[in-house]
């Protein structure tokens, strides 16, 4: 059982009537180039695909400089700081320092290593080497001449394939022999060294770097020359990646020796000190620098991330991947944990752009984002878009009609039609119910329905002879404030309002089980599922209604079925209902996104004992305060590739299942 308790973004609940939701158990689910390209001036990235959690001194660190990590067999994460050694269970820190642990002669912990027998080896800056095993500390230092240590500033500890413990210090390379360290440099063909990095590879070789770079194999040692002048080649980090490439970080950059090569090559574009290197299970090479932040090397291209976008400090001191594949970054100003997640926020160009309400999928696969300005997302690139004739107008939403025209709803300026014949503008002067547009839908005859702040309008006819019919409460509309529209497979129009549901059949409002059941509810989402026949056959499809605070409703065969948190919903507030190609519902709400199989909901409607499997993507796992938006359509989209998008207060929420 791991003791590093790192929260996850996915929860699954199997709910039936015999296991009510409140008592249910939630289960945590957890073109090849010739050279490596490192571009320090490239656009900085905010660790897309990861959630971030930062710890600083107020969160329990004795000091904010974090230099080392290790994880012992019992699952505890051990953290070396300049203010002492921490044991972390994911929620609570236990501090070991000179005040409470006499065996620790120095509080500044520089390196940590777990040996194969489970012992934790601790290298300090001035207090020698300490081992923690079976609950006891034992220290080797220069203070006791019998320990054999030549220097108390220990920069690296490694265990070779034969089990030998090696320690690199500011003055010498040492090997543990029995209960005493023995210095091996300065004699027997190994030159005298100041050692900063010791790396034992799977081939049995020991790589030692500091004032020089050596490979020690058995009793022999070979020195390697790195590119550049000697003063720039003091080694700070060494790593052999799974493809056999040896990487060496120095005070002036990064060098690599590929399998079969006889000489190291300098990686262009990275000119600072490379303090730490780590390859994660997914194959990414992480490069930590002094002053330049982090580089993530995928293939042959390295992506930079720097403070303040993704890091608390650009001085990066260590990396670690724990047994749950969380990635830890130690910096000069705190400790950062990155956890893999399918959720990410796509930032818009300016901070004030991020507060927005709609995301719409166009027919070409691109996305339209209605924010402070209008944005077009194509091929992963976000661009501000000013449509012809709409300069200075606040766009709420867009809709692409079957004839190719783009309908643009605005915040107070009515609705525009941009087509091959030019731009047409419709407002209350032409008969529109209101100039604030909340939803747009297309009828089967190509006419357009528009939901406004004060009613619903139907725009029919050709561009030169358009006719607008508006419906308000005096005409039978349930409430003036409209939120959602659907034209179903039978040409009926469903209108969700802030106080009830309206159903238009052949131009007249009708009452049925759905309108009666939802007479007092706020309906923010309406969806027709894909189970029905087309209009020429018998229609067996269901219409689904998401309410602001009263759960999910299904209308099928003249009967309404309600689903709430008692059935397994994460929330009774539903902003949007999307259905993917596999028949799964993606439902947004204030706290996150729920994923269901529609077939499970249908089965539960027939048999309340049928379990409902729910996957919940929590916004709490994203850094900062994130809130999903709803109430203006389209408030979500699924791309042909199955990627899911929702609007939030910090930019588009992107889910890659």
pLDDT single digits (tens) 330-364: 999 999 999 887 888 887 776 565 556 899 999 99
Higher pLDDT, 368 or 49: 368
From the centroid of its chain, how far is CA 159?
35
Cβ-proximal residues to 474 (8 Å cutoff; 6+ apart), any chain: none
Span 269-288, mean pLDDT? 94
Give the CA radius of gyration of the chain: 31
- Which among 346, 328, 347, 330 is positioned nearest to 338, based on CA atoms? 328
DSSP 24: P
What pLDDT was estimated at residue 246? 97
Contacts 24+ apart (CB under 8 A), 100-107: 101/137, 103/130, 103/137, 103/138, 103/139, 104/130, 104/137, 104/139, 105/130, 105/139, 105/141, 105/143, 105/152, 106/152, 107/62, 107/82, 107/83
Q: Residues with Cβ < 8 Å from 541, sequence gap 6 or more?
A: 488, 489, 528, 529, 530, 531, 532, 533, 556
614-627 mean pLDDT: 81
Residue 28 confidence (pLDDT) above 50:
no
pLDDT at position 43 is 46
* Residues 306-316 pLDDT 10s: 877 789 999 99
Residue-level pLDDT at 25: 27
How far apart are alpha carbons 81 and 317 in whole angstroms? 10
Indicate the pLDDT class of residue 534, thresholds 50, 70 and 90: very low
Residue 5: predicted pLDDT: 38
For the cut 50, the answer to whether the pLDDT of residue 29 exceeds it is no
H or E element that contains 481: none
3-class SS string, 273-293? EEEEEEECCCCCEEEEEECCC
Hey, is 310 helix, strand or coil? coil
H/E run at residue 308: none
Residue 342 confidence (pLDDT): 84
24 pLDDT more than 50: no
pLDDT recorded at residue 51: 76
pLDDT digits (tens, 9 = 90+) for 201-245: 998 999 999 999 999 988 789 999 998 887 789 999 999 999 999
For 95-114, write each residue's pLDDT tens digit.
999 999 999 999 999 999 99
Percentage of the chain beyond pLDDT 70 is 90
Looking at the predicted structure, is the pLDDT value of residue 1 above 70?
no
Predicted confidence (pLDDT) per residue in 100-153, tens digit: 999 999 999 999 999 999 999 999 999 999 999 999 999 999 988 889 999 999
Predicted confidence (pLDDT) at residue 392 exceeds the cutoff of 60: yes
Handedness of CA 551, 555, 556, 560 (dihedral sign): positive
Average pLDDT value for residue range 57-68: 96
Q: Which among 489, 492, 486, 504 has a CA at the least distance from the CA of 536?
A: 489
How high is the pLDDT of residue 462?
A: 74
With a CB cutoff of 8 Å and minimum separation 6, the contacts of 435 are 410, 412, 413, 414, 427, 428, 452
pLDDT over 70 (residue 280): yes
Please check whether residue 9 is in contact with residue 343, taking contact to mean a CB–CB distance below 8 angstroms. yes
Dihedral of CA atoms 87, 93, 96, 100 in degrees, nearest 10, equals: -140
Task: Pull the structure tokens for residue 362.
Answer: 């166009």
Phi-psi map region of 407: left, alpha, beta (phi>0 left; psi -120 to 50 alpha): beta
How many whole angstroms separate alpha carbon 236 and alpha carbon 270?
14
Cα–Cα distance, 20 to 565 (Å, whole number): 9
pLDDT computed for residue 371 by the predictor: 86
pLDDT at 35 exceeding the cut of 90: no
- What b/e sequence results for 185-221 when a residue is b if at least 16 CB atoms lie within 10 Å of its CB, and e otherwise? beeeebeebbbbbbbbbeeebbbbbbbbbbbbeeeeb
Average pLDDT over residues 184-204: 91
Model pLDDT for residues 553-580, shown as the tens digit of each residue:
999 999 999 999 998 888 999 999 999 9
Contact 468, 458 (CB under 8 A): yes
Q: Is the pLDDT of residue 539 over 70?
A: no
The whole-chain average pLDDT of the chain stands at: 88
Average pLDDT value for residue range 609-624: 82
pLDDT confidence tier of residue 391, bands split at 50, 70 and 90 = very high
Q: Is the pLDDT of residue 9 over 60?
A: no
Q: What percent of the chain has pLDDT over 90?
A: 72
Burial class (CB in 10 A: 0-12, 13-18, 19+), 136: exposed
Given this model, what pLDDT does residue 623 score?
67
For range 11-17, the mean pLDDT: 37
């Amino acid at each position: 059982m791991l003791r590093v308790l790192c929260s996850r973004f996915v929860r699954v609940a199997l709910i039936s009537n015999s296991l009510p939701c409140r008592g249910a158990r939630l289960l945590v689910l957890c073109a090849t180039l010739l050279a490596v390209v490192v571009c320090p001036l490239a656009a900085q990235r905010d660790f897309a695909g990861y959630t971030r959690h930062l710890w600083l001194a107020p969160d329990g660190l004795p000091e904010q400089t974090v230099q080392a990590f290790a994880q012992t067999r019992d699952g505890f994460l051990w953290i070396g700081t300049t203010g002492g050694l921490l044991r972390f269970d994911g929620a609570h820190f236990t501090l070991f320092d000179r005040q409470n642990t006499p065996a620790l002669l120095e509080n500044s912990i520089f390196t940590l290593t777990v040996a194969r027998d489970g012992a934790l080896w601790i290298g300090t800056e001035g207090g020698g080497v300490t081992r923690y095993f079976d609950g006891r500390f034992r220290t080797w230092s220069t203070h006791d001449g019998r320990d054999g240590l030549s220097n108390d500033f220990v920069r690296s500890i490694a265990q070779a394939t034969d089990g030998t413990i090696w320690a690199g210090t500011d003055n010498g390379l040492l090997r543990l022999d029995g209960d005493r360290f023995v210095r091996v440099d300065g004699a027997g063909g190994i030159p005298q060294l100041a050692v900063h990095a010791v790396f034992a590879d799977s081939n049995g070789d020991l790589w030692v770097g500091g004032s020089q770079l050596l490979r020690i194999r058995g009793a022999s040692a070979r020195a390697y020359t790195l590119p550049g002048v000697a003063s720039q080649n003091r080694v700070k980090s060494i790593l052999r990646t799974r493809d056999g490439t040896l990487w060496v970080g120095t005070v002036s950059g990064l060098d690599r020796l590929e399998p079969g090569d006889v000489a190291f090559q300098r990686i262009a574009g990275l000119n600072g000190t490379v303090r730490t290197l780590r390859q994660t299970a997914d194959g990414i090479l992480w490069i930590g620098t002094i002053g330049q932040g982090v580089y993530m090397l995928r293939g042959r291209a390295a992506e930079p991330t720097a403070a303040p976008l993704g890091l608390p400090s650009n001085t990066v001191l260590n990396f670690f991947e724990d047994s749950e594949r969380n990635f830890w970054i130690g910096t000069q100003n705190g400790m950062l944990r990155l956890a893999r997640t399918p959720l990410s926020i796509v930032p818009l160009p300016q901070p004030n752009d991020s507060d927005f309400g709609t995301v719409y999928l166009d027919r070409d696969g691109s996305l339209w984002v209605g924010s402070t300005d209008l944005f077009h997302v194509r091929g992963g690139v976000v661009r501000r878009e000013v449509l012809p004739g709409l300069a200075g107008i606040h766009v709420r939403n867009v809709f692409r009609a079957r004839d190719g025209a783009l309908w643009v709803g605005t915040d107070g300026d009515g609705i525009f039609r941009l087509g091959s014949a030019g731009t047409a503008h419709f407002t209350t002067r032409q008969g529109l119910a209101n100039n604030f547009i909340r939803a747009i839908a297309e009828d089967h005859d190509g006419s357009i329905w528009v939901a406004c702040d004060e009613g619903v309008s139907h725009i029919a006819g050709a561009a030169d002879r358009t006719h607008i019919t508006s419906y308000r409460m005096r005409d039978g509309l349930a409430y003036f404030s409209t939120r959602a529209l659907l034209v179903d497979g039978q040409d009926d129009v469903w209108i969700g309002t802030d106080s009830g549901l309206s159903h238009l059949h052949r131009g007249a409002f009708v009452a049925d089980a759905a309108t009666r059941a939802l007479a007092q509810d706020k309906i923010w989402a309406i969806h027709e599922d894909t189970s029905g026949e087309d209009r020429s056959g018998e229609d067996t499809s269901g219409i689904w209604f998401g309410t602001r605070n009263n759960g999910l409703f299904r209308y099928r065969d003249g009967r309404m079925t309600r689903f709430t948190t008692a059935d397994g919903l994460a929330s009774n507030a539903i902003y949007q209902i999307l259905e993917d190609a596999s028949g799964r519902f993606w439902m947004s709400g204030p706290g996150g996104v729920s994923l269901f199989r529609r077939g499970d909901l249908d089965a539960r409607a027939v048999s309340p004992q049928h379990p409902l499997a729910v996957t919940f993507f929590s916004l709490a796992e994203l850094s900062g305060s994130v809130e999903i938006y709803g109430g203006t359509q389209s408030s979500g989209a699924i791309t042909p590739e199955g990627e899911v998008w929702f609007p939030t207060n910090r930019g588009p929420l992107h889910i890659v299942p």
